[in-house]
């Protein structure tokens, strides 16, 4: 069997573990159409590799997935890199109580600050600190390097085609969140 770049091992015929799983299910349950496994089992396995790469990139910079999500939402918001807690809740799809706890932890770490909201006397703004911006920028650069390695087996055109196909597939799942005014969390 051949393994390249952390990808699934393939046998001499170019078959991978998913091909072997599908073949076994077809043998054991010929009455079932197991063709969705051809795509979704590979997506699931790739998602696991991506999750490991992300966690490693974030850990390298002293972050966890949740802290990267909050910091990156602030970083993407543009100068002065601040949002209300409600905007952070919407961006990261967590409860307000969870966000309060996360902001508290990031304030304690010196990565964000709370400031009074001039538009709402009772409100606050969560602002990225210089240290927070440096940390999230470094983690993002590291993440992109790891993600490029995951995609190294595909050329630019293949990556663009795959992105188009995945966009089509995921659009139905993302639409309900967008309809509620809550975009899906993104990096």
The predicted-structure confidence for 6-17, as pLDDT tens digits, reads as follows 455 655 667 889
The string of DSSP codes covering 35-58 is THHHHHHHHHHHHHHHHHHHHHHH
Q: What is the pLDDT of residue 183?
A: 47
185: three-class secondary structure by DSSP: coil
- Say what the pTM is: 0.78
Q: What is the pLDDT of residue 187?
A: 56
The number of CA neighbours under 13 Å toward the Cβ of 146 is 17
Q: Which residues contact 90 (CB under 8 A, 6 or more apart)?
A: 181, 182, 183
116: three-class secondary structure by DSSP: strand
DSSP run (H or E) holding 68: helix 65-76
Q: What is the pLDDT of residue 9?
A: 60
Length of the chain counted residue by residue: 187
pLDDT band at 173; cut points 50, 70, 90: confident
Q: Which residues contact 162 (CB under 8 A, 6 or more apart)?
A: 154
């Amino acid at each position: 069997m051949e393994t390249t770049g952390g990808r699934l091992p393939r046998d001499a015929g170019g078959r991978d573990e998913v091909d072997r799983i599908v073949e076994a299910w077809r043998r054991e349950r010929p009455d079932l159409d197991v063709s969705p496994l051809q795509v979704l089992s590979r997506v699931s396995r790739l998602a696991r590799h991506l999750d490991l790469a992300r966690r490693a990139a974030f850990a390298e910079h002293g972050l966890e997935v949740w802290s990267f999500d909050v910091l990156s939402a602030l970083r993407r918001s543009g100068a002065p890199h601040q949002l209300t807690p409600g905007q952070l809740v919407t961006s990261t799809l967590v409860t307000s109580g969870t966000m309060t706890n996360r902001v508290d932890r990031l304030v304690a770490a010196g990565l964000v600050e709370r400031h009074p909201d001039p538009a709402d006397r009772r409100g606050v703004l969560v602002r990225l600190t210089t240290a927070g911006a440096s940390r999230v920028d470094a983690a993002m650069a590291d993440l992109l390097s790891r993600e490029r390695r995951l995609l190294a087996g595909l050329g630019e055109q293949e990556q663009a085609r795959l992105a188009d196909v995945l966009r089509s597939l995921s659009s139905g799942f993302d639409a309900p969140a967008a309809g509620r005014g809550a975009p899906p969390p993104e990096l």
